[in-house]
Chain A
Amino acid sequence: MHSDDYLTDIGIVNSMPKIDKVLIIACGALAREIIDLIKINNWHHMDLTCLPAKYHLYPEKITTAVELAVKKHISNYKNIFIAYADCGTGGLLEKKCNELGVKMIKGPHCYSFFEGNDKFTQNAEDEISAFYLTDFLVNQFDAFVWKPMGLDKHPELIDVYFGNYTKLVYQAQTKNNQLEQKAYEISKKMNLPLERRYTGYGDLETALSLA
Chain B
Amino acid sequence: MSDEQDIILADLSDEELTLQMHDDLYDGMKEEIEESVNILLGRGWMPYDVLTKALVEGMRIVGIDFRDGILFVPEVLLAANAMKGGMAILKPLLAETGAPRLGNMLIGTVKGDIHDIGKNLVTMMMEGAGFEVKDLGINNPVENYVQELEDGEYDILGMSALLTTTMPYMKVVIDTMVEKGMRDDYVVLVGGAPLNEEFGKAIGADAYCRDAAVAVETAKEFMAKKHNQLSM
User: Which A residues are closer than 8 A to B by beta carbons?
Assistant: 59, 86, 88-92, 108-109, 124-125, 128-129, 148-151, 153-154, 157, 160-161, 164-165
Taking A89-B164, A92-B196, A150-B77 as given, write out 18 further A-B residue pairs in contact, using a Cβ cutoff of 8 Å, ordered by the A residue number.
A86-B194, A90-B164, A90-B167, A90-B195, A90-B196, A124-B165, A125-B112, A128-B114, A129-B114, A149-B74, A150-B72, A150-B74, A150-B78, A154-B74, A157-B77, A160-B77, A160-B81, A164-B115
Q: Which residues of B contact A86 (CB under 8 A)?
A: 164, 194
Judge if B117 is at the interface, Cβ distance under 8 Å.
yes
Decide: B193 and A164 in contact? CB cutoff 8 A. Answer: no
What separation, in Å, do the CA atoms of A92 and B195 have in the docked complex? 10
Decide: B164 and A91 in contact? CB cutoff 8 A. Answer: yes
Number of contact residues on B: which range applies?
Answer: 20 to 34
Residue of A nearest to B30 (CB): A156
Judge if B75 is at the interface, Cβ distance under 8 Å.
yes
Can you name 18 A-B residue pairings with CB atoms under 8 Å? Answer: A86-B164, A88-B164, A88-B194, A90-B164, A90-B194, A90-B195, A90-B199, A108-B163, A128-B113, A128-B139, A148-B72, A149-B74, A150-B72, A153-B74, A157-B74, A157-B78, A164-B114, A165-B114
What separation, in Å, do the CA atoms of A128 and B167 have in the docked complex? 14
Judge if B138 is at the interface, Cβ distance under 8 Å.
yes
Q: Which residues of A contact B163 (CB under 8 A)?
A: 108
Residue of A nearest to B195 (CB): A90
What separation, in Å, do the CA atoms of A109 and B139 have in the docked complex? 20
A92 CB → nearest B CB, Å: 7
Which residues of chain B (182-196) have a CB below 8 Å from chain A?
A: 193-196
Q: Which residues of A contact B116 (CB under 8 A)?
A: 164
Q: Which residues of B contact A164 (CB under 8 A)?
A: 114-116, 138
Judge if B73 is at the interface, Cβ distance under 8 Å.
yes
Secondary structure of the A side of the interface?
A: loop
What separation, in Å, do the CA atoms of A92 and B112 have in the docked complex? 21
Q: Which residues of B contact A108 (CB under 8 A)?
A: 163-165
Q: Which residues of A contact B195 (CB under 8 A)?
A: 90
Decide: A59 and B193 in contact? CB cutoff 8 A. Answer: yes
Q: Which residues of B contact A91 (CB under 8 A)?
A: 164, 199
- Quick one: which of B74, B116, B163, B199 has the most chain A CB within 10 A? B74
What separation, in Å, do the CA atoms of A172 and B197 have in the docked complex? 36
Residue of B nearest to A112 (CB): B165
Decide: A161 and B117 in contact? CB cutoff 8 A. Answer: yes
Residue of A nearest to B120 (CB): A160
B198 CB → nearest A CB, Å: 8
Q: Which residues of A contact B139 (CB under 8 A)?
A: 128
Q: Which residues of B contact A154 (CB under 8 A)?
A: 74, 78
A45 CB → nearest B CB, Å: 31
A87 CB → nearest B CB, Å: 8
B160 CB → nearest A CB, Å: 13
What separation, in Å, do the CA atoms of A89 and B192 have in the docked complex? 11
B135 CB → nearest A CB, Å: 14
Residue of B nearest to A153 (CB): B74
Mask for B190-212, Cβ within 8 A of A = 1, else 0? 00011110010000000000000
Q: Which residues of A contact B77 (CB under 8 A)?
A: 150, 157, 160
What separation, in Å, do the CA atoms of A153 and B114 have in the docked complex? 25
What separation, in Å, do the CA atoms of A90 and B199 have in the docked complex? 8
Residue of B nearest to A93 (CB): B164
Q: Which residues of A contact B196 (CB under 8 A)?
A: 90, 92
What separation, in Å, do the CA atoms of A30 and B199 have in the docked complex? 28
Q: Which residues of A contact B74 (CB under 8 A)?
A: 149-151, 153-154, 157
